[in-house]
Structure 1
Amino acid sequence: MSAPKGYTRTQIALHWVVFLLVALQFLFHNNIVDAWGSYLRDGTFEPSALVFSHVIGGILILLLVIWRMAIKVKRGAPELPENEPPMLKLAANLTHIGLYLLLLLTALSGAVAWFGSVEAAAQVHGVLRALVLILVLLHIAGAFYQQLVLKSDVMTRMGKPEA
């Protein structure tokens, strides 16, 4: 199977929806942290839309990342630019694999912590959260490096569907 030239509308939409959900999870994470702390102290928490949206957001991220991975396995992904140095290709591939893995593990650890009341899972979730942030920032930096320094079409592929 030859690699596609670009991404489908579905792949592009999934990329940006997951990005938005992850950004919202980071932006509004204090509410879930407060609820978790309250739950650990006295077994209760103050229900709020932001607490439940964090839980629902995590479940959505899990499902959407699985969907995105299934499409990638079935359809493939565009090749990285031919003239890109091998070390950059390796870094890009490892960053993508790491993002998929961390997003899955972060969502799963959050679900185990929340629904199973497992404190160790909550601690793992916090560590994974920091690693997700690092890889997201690396991914964004790599995209801008591709666009501004290498002058490749990598960034435009995630904004314009394959014809």
Structure 2
Amino acid sequence: SIYRYIKSVYGRRIEYHRSKRKKRRWSRRRRSKEKLTDRKFIDERPEIVAKRGRIGDAEADFLVSGKTGKGIILVVADRKSRAPFLEKITDITINNVHLAFLKIQKRFPELKTITTDNDLLLQRHKELEKLLNITIYFCHPYSSWEKETVENINGCIRKDIPKGSP
């Protein structure tokens, strides 16, 4: 039987090999994510914003270039007129995102509110609100369909600018 073999002279080799083998230690490294704090969720928007009642209430999103391309495109779309405003960001930093929002506000001075997703590039959203003098609302996590206007425009842009474009 197996036990007789293990206790025999030949079976002792198994114990030798088992003790020489290193045990694997599986450890998960958890990356600490920066959290977005003091967010105003989409539920807190005024009724006029939710019903597309005025020009100046916009939705914002980032189009990522892909594996080979570097940079992102900031897409801001007005909810009522559905007019898109695009700004390319080659060096992806929070300060450059703020500058891109400022450039878009110069072209779209009626900007009053922005609805966006929970992107880490907006972790200093309170600073951006003061800079642009607007209110920023956030979608619920993993619910990008709550900003359907800009997602639809992103789909149209993807037809002309495929993933991985420089």
Same fold (TM over 0.5): no
Q: Higher strand fraction: Structure 1 or Structure 2? A: 2
Scaled by the length of structure 2, what TM-score is found? Answer: 0.25
Scaled by the length of structure 1, what TM-score is found? Answer: 0.25
User: Whose Rg is larger?
Assistant: 2
Q: Higher helix fraction: Structure 1 or Structure 2? A: 1
- Which one scores higher on RCO, CA 8 angstroms, separation ≥ 6? 1
